[in-house]
A and B are shown apart, each in its own frame.
Chain A
Amino acid sequence: MKKVEVIIKPFKLDDVKEALHSIGIQGMTVTEVKGFGRQKGHKEIYRGAEYLVDFLPKIKIEMVIQSSVVDQVIEKVIAAARTGTIGDGKIFVFPVDTVVRIRTGERDADAI
């Protein structure tokens, strides 16, 4: 099992969600986050005073999936979230030890 964490541009959320849905991914957790990478921040001006706003709004999607579909998920996310400009985001994949469904106590593959 793997946990996939995806950071994307906010306006791509619907596209990414649809793409993941189409390959049978059943659940995900979405968070509005702020951060920066190479894109850096942007400039805001209030009454002539300039501020560099470092942190840009992004969307973080987290999901736990079977190891066998990791490549497919990565491929789908890239296809859906890519604009080709700086700031498109990143995908992180981590190993997962255990998954438990609280309602039934099922574990691992049954609980995903």
Chain B
Amino acid sequence: MNQADNAWVLVSSALVLLMTPGLAMFYGGLTRSKNVLSTMMHSFFLMGLASIIWMFYGFSLAFAPDVLGGWLGGSKYFFLNNIGADLFPDLVDPSKTMTIPGTTFMIFQCMFAIITPALITGAFAERMKFSAFVLFMILWLTFVYSPVAHWVWGPGGWLAGMGALDFAGGTVVHINAGVAALACAIVIGKRKGYRQTPMIPHNLTLTLLGAGLLWFGWFGFNAGSALSASEGASMAFVVTHMATAAAAISWAVAEWILRGKPTTLGVASGAVAGLVAITPASGFVGPVSSVILGAVAGVLCYLAVLAKNSLGYDDALDVVGVHGVGGIWGAIATGLFASKAINAAGSDGLFFGNPGQLWIQIVAILATIVYSLVVTLIILYVVKAIVGLKVTEEDEVVGCDTSEHGETAYNI
């Protein structure tokens, strides 16, 4: 074991955990005041639920030796059997040589299994039954997150075997969550009064603080994904920061040009879009590439969010526009900007003389989209049949804080 590596990945694990309450604040501020607690509850409850699932079997389905031709991990690590002080076996990605114990790797990955489903919750905020949420998340972590994590990162995973580059989770985390969010928004349906009554964010200061915590925690997410306290971690840290800086500016400038005013919600959303987009690329691209990648992400995600208004589905907090579109752009951009000069164990992208990498990236994107969409839809209909998805119209008007949890956020 390398003690410096172990220390860095443990610290990174704590950083990634902090992203989830950060996300709760980011989302909570965007809802109306009658739904802020129910929205934050989704993220916080997952810090419990996803962790327990991960320990008992989720980690094993994702990271145990393959049992289904590259599609699913086996039962070797159920209940964390065989996970302890021994070094975790090397992953497929040759840039990540394991020098840390299995326990450290497991807990680092556990934090990813918390934040990914938490991202989806923005799509069905302000209207989903809490019981339906719990059942949906158990099924989604089991049948969508764990398998897709296995494909991309797990030993024998088929996308990893093809050479798809995904440093910190562009496909597994962001495209996966973004597509699942789209399925949720469509199947659960619109909020009462959507597009007829104003649904104005009730506290953007909370949203800005949440975005700041996400930015902070994301250093653990991306630089921690080097799995070592190495030069690679340093570069991942730098490009994560620079892409985010560029995206925060580009989103705000885009809306300044198109709608007349730069907004605080614009810089916060732009920052998150930049963080999303740089995620798969963070171990493979240089600083100048990262700024281009981030600047494009800010504008692209802003346009995607604008497009939602004419497409008609109610993705309440824009998970599809930010995580889906930002994640797809990031995965494509990895195939454009990746450079062996930055990471010798990675690949070159299109702009560095290797057009084949772009094709592999597109296969990974399409596979994730199709699988996540289909299986999420099936899960939604199963949950709908068992407990129903949406609160009653009366409960929706009163607000989910009162109807689902018997609490109100602000009492004067």
Contacts and interface: CB of A to CB of B under 8 A. Distances in A.
Contacts of B302: 47-48
A23 to B, nearest CB: 36
Contacts of A51: 198-200
B200 A48 contact: no
Interface in B168-224: 198-201
Interface string B280-319: 0000000000000000000000100110010000000010
B198 A47 contact: no
Interface residues of A, number: 9
Contact of B201 (A46, A48, A52, A53): A46
Interface string B248-286: 000000010011010101100100000000000000000
A49 interface: yes
Looking at chain A's contact residues, the main secondary structure is strand
B269 A48 contact: no
Interface residues of B, number: 17
A46 B200 contact: yes
B295 to A, nearest CB: 18
A36 to B, nearest CB: 14
A48 B305 contact: yes
B309 A52 contact: no
Contacts of A52: 198
B198 A48 contact: no
A48 B322 CA distance: 13
Contacts of B259: 45, 48
A53 B200 CA distance: 10
A44 interface: yes
Contacts of A48: 255, 258-259, 302, 305-306, 309
A47 B200 contact: no
Looking at chain B's contact residues, the main secondary structure is helix
B318 A47 contact: yes
A49 B309 contact: yes
Given A52-B198, A53-B198, A47 B305 contact: yes
A53 B201 CA distance: 13
Interface centre among A48, A49, A51, A52 (most CB of B within 10 A): A48
Interface centre among A45, A46, A52 (most CB of B within 10 A): A46
A45 B261 CA distance: 9
Contacts of B200: 44, 46, 51, 53
A59 to B, nearest CB: 20
A55 to B, nearest CB: 10
B205 to A, nearest CB: 14
A47 B261 contact: no
Interface centre among A44, A47, A51 (most CB of B within 10 A): A47
Nearest to A49: B309
A6 B261 CA distance: 34
A44 B199 CA distance: 11
Interface string B336-358: 00000000000000000000000
Interface in A41-93: 44-49, 51-53
B342 to A, nearest CB: 33
A45 B263 contact: yes
B265 A46 contact: yes
A48 B302 CA distance: 8
A47 B261 CA distance: 11
10 contacts: A44-B200, A45-B261, A46-B201, A47-B265, A47-B306, A47-B318, A48-B309, A51-B199, A52-B198, A53-B198
Interface of B: 198-201, 255, 258-259, 261, 263, 265-266, 269, 302, 305-306, 309, 318
A-B pairs with lowest CB-CB distance, top 9: A51-B198, A48-B306, A47-B305, A45-B259, A48-B305, A49-B309, A46-B265, A46-B201, A51-B200
